[in-house]
């Protein structure tokens, strides 16, 4: 295979997608390397599930760069899927993205994970003019939901994907999505409400190659601003506040 030019004149993007490990059992996610203008995927590498003894993210990135014949110093951009997703996985992804960007002088792009799921070429599509709800981080009768109009992803979709909010089953039903993307952990009350409304639910796919492709819809940022999207206030903070009021 002949690889595209990987000189400094080519914008090389490293994409890190480990945001929602529960959505792809047996895998910790994936990383990808791509160039832009036009988009060209150079290589993609799976990330093994993390354990207490071993985290495969940085080794996977090393394998990725070696398979593409690329040096770390050639990276110009680091795209990270920032959630909502696993609390630990999104923090690890952002920390790794910051570290790599700082080391090689690259910029960063924080990409909402809902946009990655929405932009997946393999997902079912709703009818034109309808909307797609991406439901993540389901918990206690609610889920964080971003609702995007069906169509080719644009910067407006990227903005909407970041501005999701926590919804109950009733609130999501009132939004009248034509399609819901949600993993097996979706709250049963939401699943039942969608079934009553006749709205299909499909498992989202979070792939590093899709992340790399849509990352250019967002502006580059300095690594210090690369932060996860937390769907809810951490319970430890809530408890601390409750004790303070007591």
pLDDT value of residue 237: 53
What's the whole-number mean pLDDT along residues 179-194? Answer: 96
pLDDT surpasses 90 at 108: yes
Percentage of the chain exceeding pLDDT 70: 91
Residues in a beta bridge with 180:
133, 201
Question: What pLDDT score does 6 carry?
Answer: 43
Has residue 3 got a pLDDT over 80? no
Tell me what pLDDT residue 17 has. Answer: 98
Indicate if the pLDDT at residue 4 is higher than 70.
Answer: no
DSSP single-letter state for residue 108: E
- CA 112 – CA 217 distance, rounded (Å): 11
* More reliable by pLDDT, 22 or 95: 95
Between the CA of residue 32 and those of 86, 153, 246, what are the distances in Å? 20, 19, 49
pLDDT of residue 240: 62
Task: Encode pLDDT of 132-180 as tens digits.
Answer: 999 999 999 999 999 999 999 999 999 999 999 999 999 999 999 999 9
pLDDT in tens, 68-83: 999 999 999 999 999 9
Cα gap 36→53, rounded to integer Å = 36
Q: What percent of the chain is modeled with pLDDT above 90?
A: 82
CA contacts within 13 A on the Cβ side of 97: 35
**CA-CA distance, 41 to 34, in Å (whole number)?**
4
CB-CB contact of 220 with 109 (8 Å):
yes
Please state the pTM of the whole predicted model. 0.91
Residue 172 has which token pair?
Answer: 């999501």
Mean pLDDT across the chain, nearest whole number? 91
Cα-atom radius of gyration of the chain, to the nearest Å? 18
Phi, psi of 72 (to 5 degrees): -55, -35
192: part of which helix (H) or strand (E)? helix 188-197
- What's the confidence (pLDDT) of residue 10? 66
């Amino acid at each position: 295979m002949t690889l595209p030019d990987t000189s400094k004149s080519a914008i090389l993007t490293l994409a890190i997608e480990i945001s929602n490990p529960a959505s792809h059992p047996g895998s910790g996610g994936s990383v990808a390397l791509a160039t832009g203008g036009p988009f060209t995927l150079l290589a993609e590498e799976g990330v093994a599930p993390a354990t207490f003894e071993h985290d495969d993210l940085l080794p996977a990135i090393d394998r990725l760069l070696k398979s593409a014949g690329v040096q770390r110093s050639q990276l110009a951009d680091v795209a990270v899927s920032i959630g909502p997703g696993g609390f630990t996985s999104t923090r690890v992804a952002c920390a790794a993205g910051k570290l790599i960007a700082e080391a090689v002088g690259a910029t960063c792009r924080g990409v909402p994970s809902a946009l990655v799921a929405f932009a997946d070429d393999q997902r079912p599509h709703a009818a034109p003019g309808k909307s797609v709800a991406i439901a993540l981080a389901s918990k206690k009768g609610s889920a964080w939901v971003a609702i995007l109009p069906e169509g080719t992803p644009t910067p407006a979709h990227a903005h909407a994907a970041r501005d999701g909010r926590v919804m109950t089953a009733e609130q999501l039903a009132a939004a009248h999505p034509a399609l819901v993307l949600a993993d097996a952990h979706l709250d049963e009350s939401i699943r039942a409400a969608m079934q009553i409304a006749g709205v299909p639910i499909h498992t989202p796919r979070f792939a590093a190659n899709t992340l790399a492709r849509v990352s250019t819809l967002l502006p580059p940022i300095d690594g210090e601003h690369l932060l996860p999207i937390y769907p809810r206030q951490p319970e430890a903070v809530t408890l601390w506040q409750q004790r303070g009021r007591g």
